[in-house]
Amino acid sequence: MQALRLVTRDSPLAMWQAEFVKDQLLAIHPHLVIQIFGMKTQGDKLLNDSLSKMGGKGLFVKELEEQLLAGNADLAVHSLKDLPPHLPKGLNIGAYLAREDSRDVLVSLKSLKLHELPPQARIGTSSLRRQWQLKSLRFELETLALRGNLGTRLRKLQEGQFDAIVLAAAGLKRLGLEQQITEFFAIDTMLPSAGQGVLAIECREDDIQLQVLLQPLHHWPTAQTSRAERRLIAELNSGCQAPVAAFGQIEAEQLKLRAWVGSQTGQHIQAELTASVEEPEALGAGLAEILYQKGAATLLEDWRNHSH
């Protein structure tokens, strides 16, 4: 009987995701014994600053990765959008699980949709990407930083600290809170974060036996779209310091990738590119090149200077 140690953040959503992966694995490999260890990461502890000022989303995964590298854990379950595009040496993604709904949603106090909110309504989000896409839809709205796990964010809304908040649909659906959603944003209206809605299982590169066990969970279409999105983010080297969105879709053997980069003046650049579904990395790099030709380097540099 093989025992596996699974490490995750200890937020309710992260624990749900870990249990979900455990159940999926046990359904295929009933002989396994899987223990889940929840941890508080730096990103969970430092709730007062914006992520971009603290060094980005990697703060949610660093301690988990250290447990893998030290041999204290065998696998870590992440929301892929929290996982930086460059993984530490010795680690890889053993499986990408089928993508949940990748859209962003609005949750508002009086069930008002975005266009119904009063001028200067206070909208909570910790994401620069969401802030600036909201601004492009309604520039007069006030966007305020909102950190904390899903329950904390919803509580702050109920307490009246905000008129509305923007969240990922996937988290709400996974926790059975779909009824809280006031409005789904179309992908064209609010392009998601790279990897949004995807669960990734990270493990040691040399743990071949585990990677074989994970294979039945691996969803190839999700992997291809995610790889394209992550390569784009890596090429732009944007981290969390700039509002960048990326979304890939497979259509008739082709992979279409869309991207958006925001500026501090409210302008933005966007582009899309289609290529063979077999070459996601080349597609991501190619679209990044187009964004650079459109002036992305200047926008990204402005954000880097602004965040220091």
Which residues does 207 contact at the CB level (< 8 Å), separation at least 6? 74, 94
Residue 79's beta-bridge partner residues? 199
Name the H helices within 138-178.
Answer: 150-158, 169-174
Q: Which of 44, 74, 82, 163 is catalytic?
A: 82
| Contacting residues for 289 by C-beta, under 8 A, at least 6 apart | 235
Contacts of residue 140, defined as CB under 8 A and 6 or more positions apart, other chains included, come to 119, 120
Q: What is the rounded CA–CA span in Å between residue 301 and residue 284?
A: 20
Residues 305 and 308: their CA atoms lie apart, in Å, by 6
163 is catalytic: no
Q: HSE, CB side, 13 Å, CA atoms: give it for residue 131.
A: 21
Please name the amino acid found at residue 257. Answer: L
| 8 A C-beta contact, residue 246 and residue 130 | no
Q: Give the count of beta carbons closer than 10 Å to the beta carbon of residue 229.
A: 32
**Cβ proximity of 143 and 266 under 8 Å:** no
214 to 35, 143, 164, 257: CA distances (angstroms): 16, 41, 39, 27
Known catalytic residues?
82
